[in-house]
Amino acid sequence: MGYIELNVLDHVVKNVVLGIDLGTTNSLAAIWDADGPRVLAPEGESPIVPSVVYVPEKGKALVGSAAKAQAVLDPTHTLFSIKRFMGRGIGDIQADLAMLPYKVSETDRHLVQFEVRGKKITPQQASALILQEVALRAVNALGGADIIQAVITVPAYFDEPQRQATRDAAKLAGIEVLRIVSEPTAACLAYGLDQKGEGNIAVYDLGGGTFDVSILRVDDGVFQVLSTAGDTALGGDDFDRCLIRRFQDELRAQGCAEETLADPQFLSAARLAAEHAKRDLSSDPSTRIQLSLPELGLDYRTTLTRAEFEALITPLINKTLDHCRRALADANLKPSDLDEVVLVGGSTRVPLVRAQVEAAFGRKPHTELNPDHVVALGAAAQAQVLTGGRRDVLLLDVTPLSLGLETMGGAVAKMIERNSTIPCSHTEGFTTYVDNQTGLDLNILQGERELAANCRSLGQFKLTGIPPMPAGMAKVAVRFHLDADGQLTVTAREESTGVASTITVEPMHGLTDAEVEAMLHEGYANAQADFDHRRAVELITEMGTMLRAIEKNLEAASPQLDKETLEDLAEAMVAAKAAIAKGPEAIDKAAVQATRDSLEQASLPLAAVLMDSVVKKAVSGKQLGDL
């Protein structure tokens, strides 16, 4: 007898290249393939995934709209504005802390981490969940893929640790990053402004949590960021906060307790109501707000006009305009030198924002594309270019902040000036300052201030192995290299003797490779645990169904079963009931499986008796021919 031959289909490995806008508030993916540029979403759904993660008591985290819906019900376990914490230390985010309903702490390496239900989650891990959700929705819309590659955008203002944190998040999500691109650059690509002969462009991006303005120059397909300015902590969230403060002031005047006004549930509900009202006011002259939280004994109603709202947010808009003037000055341009102005981000839907930007730049801004989609579409355009697409465009980014080294006495030696076009590198000579010094401590700094103490330390390292010699004799060449992604590599070499030493730079607020590995591992371990837990729940449910069926039929069938069978069955039933009583948490999957299998085994004779009687019943009264 021969074997049946199975046709093994050759599995074609399909890879997709996405453009992903990983936003503070919302994230989404787009693609630019043979069918042209478009945002991706499962049939009938929005492409926008709120950048929110909900951590349930057990089981998998919820991401996106489902998580956002939990924010009101269970605010302390819902993470939002995660991007604000990417690559940051706790000192960087003090101002944000008071507003957060969830707990934030610090790792030994001064990384921010969230604490939810006793679990610690880094911003990179939380962002990885968002990236995964966005990518999976996109890939499903495309009919599946095995390999996901992506261009991911970050605000132009993001510094090296923040970019690195974004790369790490993608790695955790199983996404291969082709390039990190700044959001304003992506927006220009989406508008095809690279195809203009030449011109100067201002991109004004006001999202939920960040503001960026960038001045770009396009020259025959060469695309250069001339300058950037902005604020990583200014956006539509702050508009919402203005409204929350207004609600609080009014409630306080009505005699509401401070405790209630600081309650996480109140803050969450107020945030949703504020955002809703703000959106209404982009199209309507006034809106009604209603906040009823019976558990807190609170029922608040108020009306808000667009004029009142505009008065509240004017100082914030003025801040953005200051940044615009600064970016123009840095690019050595006047408003009249601009050829295009592009609006990006959901908050540019606020009419006052549009009007003020138009007035500041003296030019009507582009608003043809959906401001929520522009960045993802541009990222997809860049992905298409990188994978050999038809457009020929060269992106020249700039570094948003100066980079340097701490020198004697805590001063800063600038190595790379802010707004330098990347990739770029700079080498400078340093020397020892005491006799027989065999090591040199190097502190890599970022920032515009003159004193090291006022700059941000990106990392420290020691060059060792310098041969003993008189002070000032050693010649140490330090090279700063920023690659096209804005990734910084610093190397140092003692040149007078040719002795080479190796150094490693570990960003203070980034994850080490070992940490990324550990998290990846943990991710897989949890995936297995999640799976096992789900299986245990299923098995227990199944046993419950089996028990009910057995109990229902046992009495009628028992005369036809022998004593041994009945004893075995009784024993298996006791074990199954015990397992159900313990619940899926207390027993591992293998044990539940074994219990369920013995129950099935013990009930086989009963099943046979039942089958018999069913068949007999069915057969009686029927013609043989009917069977």
Q: Which residues are catalytic?
A: 21, 83, 183, 205
Residues 554-583 that bind Mg ion (CB under 5 A): none
Nearest-approach distance from CB 37 to ligand ADP, in angstroms: 18
Decide: 536 and 587 in contact? Cβ < 8 Å.
Answer: yes
Decide: is 378 part of the binding site for Mg ion (CB under 5 A): no
Question: Least CB distance from residue 24 to Mg ion, whole Å?
Answer: 7
Q: Which is nearer to Mg ion, 123 or 605 (CB)?
A: 123
Nearer to ligand ADP, 208 or 605 (CB): 208
**3-state SS assignment for residue 194:** helix
Q: Residue 98: is it exposed, middle or buried by C-beta count within 10 angstroms (0-12/13-18/19+)? A: exposed
Binding residue (CB under 6 A) for ligand ADP from 47, 75, 184, 207: 207
Q: How far apart are CA 120 and CA 107, in angstroms?
A: 10
Q: Does 133 bind ligand ADP (CB under 6 A)?
A: no
Shorter beta-carbon distance to ligand ADP: residue 23 or 459 = 23
Q: Does 568 bind ligand ADP (CB under 6 A)?
A: no
**Residues in CB range of 498: below 8 A, 6 or more apart:** none
For ligand ADP, how many residues bind (rule: CB under 6 A)? 21
Q: Which is nearer to ligand ADP, 24 or 382 (CB)?
A: 24
CA distance 298 to 261: 10
Q: Does 276 bind ligand ADP (CB under 6 A)?
A: no
Cβ distance to Mg ion smaller for residue 48 or 543: 48
From Mg ion, ligand ADP, none, interface partner of 349 (C-beta below 5 to 8 A by class): ligand ADP
Task: State the residue for tokens 């966005």.
Answer: 134
Residues 6+ apart with CB under 8 A from 379: 18, 19, 20, 21, 30, 150, 151, 152, 153, 181, 186
With binding defined as CB under 5 A, does residue 23 bind Mg ion? yes
Here's the x/- map for ligand ADP, 349-368, by CB under 6 A: it reads as: xx------------------
Work out what residue 209 binds among ligand ADP, Mg ion, none; the CB cut-off runs from 5 to 8 Å by kind: ligand ADP
Distances (CA, A) of 353 to 235, 284, 504, 530: 11, 15, 45, 46
User: Vertex 569, ends 563 and 571: CA angle to 5°?
Assistant: 105
Among Mg ion, ligand ADP, none, what does residue 236 contact (CB within 5–8 Å per kind)? Answer: ligand ADP
Report in angstroms the alpha-carbon separations of 233 from 96, 211, 298, 310, 399: 8, 7, 31, 20, 19
Residue among 133, 168, 237, 406 that touches ligand ADP (CB under 6 A): 237
The pair of structure tokens assigned to 356 is 């003020």
How many other C-beta atoms can be found within 10 angstroms of the C-beta atom of residue 175?
22
Looking up tokens 């936003």 gives 23
242-to-95, 263, 389, 395 alpha-carbon distances in Å = 15, 17, 45, 38
Q: Minimum CB separation from Mg ion for residue 27, in Å? A: 9
Q: With CB under 6 A as the contact rule, which of the stretches 118-126, 142-150, 274-282, 488-496 interacts with ligand ADP?
A: 274-282
Is residue 207 a contact point for Mg ion (CB under 5 A)? yes
Could you tell which of ligand ADP, Mg ion, none binds residue 605, using a CB distance below 5 to 8 A set by kind?
Answer: none
* 3-state secondary structure at position 21: strand
Report the alpha-carbon distance of residue 509 to residue 90 in Å, rounded. 10
Residue 486 binds: one of ligand ADP, Mg ion, none (C-beta under 5 to 8 A by kind) = none
| CA gap 524, 360 in Å, rounded | 51
Binding status of residue 185 toward ligand ADP by CB under 6 A = no
First to last CA, the chain: 34
Binding mask 343-372 vs Mg ion (x if CB under 5 A, - otherwise)? Answer: --x---------------------------
| Complex with Mg ion: residue 31 or 187, whichever CB lies closer | 187
* 50: contact with ligand ADP by CB under 6 A: no
Q: Are 222 and 245 in contact (CB under 8 A)?
A: no
Task: Please name which of 376, 484, 369 lies closest in space to residue 131, comparing C-alpha atoms.
Answer: 376
Q: Does 230 sit near Mg ion (CB under 5 A)?
A: no
Query: Given the rule CB under 6 A, which residues bind ligand ADP?
Result: 23-26, 207-210, 235-237, 275, 278-279, 282, 345-347, 349-350, 372
Query: Given the rule CB under 5 A, which residues bind Mg ion?
Result: 23, 207, 345
